[in-house]
């Protein structure tokens, strides 16, 4: 076994889920945020933190390669879409 990457959240992790192609890992925890981690190094990719929930996250999962769904204990559902680069030189 060889360690490929170490992933850490700010708070205790309470759940995780893999992307359909196993290249990304969603983790969420007590800070009510989700981190989308790239398992392998990708050029110009920085792990993304998804924050919109005020209550404990129950689950989060990939719908497909660009959409993520998250659900908290109060029933709030968020649909997230991956965008390559929304900041341009004109920004």
pLDDT tens, residue by residue, 65-78: 889 999 999 999 99
Contact 16, 57 (CB under 8 A): no
Residue 10, both tokens? 């700010």
Looking up tokens 């649909």 gives 79
Per-residue pLDDT tens over the stretch 36-55:
888 887 777 777 888 899 99
Q: pTM here?
A: 0.76
Distance CA 77, CA 19 (A): 18
Distance CA 37, CA 21 (A): 13
């Amino acid at each position: 076994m060889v360690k490929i990457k170490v992933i850490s959240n700010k708070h205790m992790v309470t759940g995780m889920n893999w992307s359909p192609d196993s290249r990304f890992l969603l983790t969420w925890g007590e800070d009510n945020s989700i981190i989308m981690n790239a398992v392998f190094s990708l050029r110009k990719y920085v792990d993304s933190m998804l924050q919109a929930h005020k209550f404990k996250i129950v689950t989060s999962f990939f719908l497909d390669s660009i959409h993520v769904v998250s659900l908290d204990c109060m029933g709030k559902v968020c649909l997230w879409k991956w965008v390559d680069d929304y900041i341009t030189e004109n920004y």
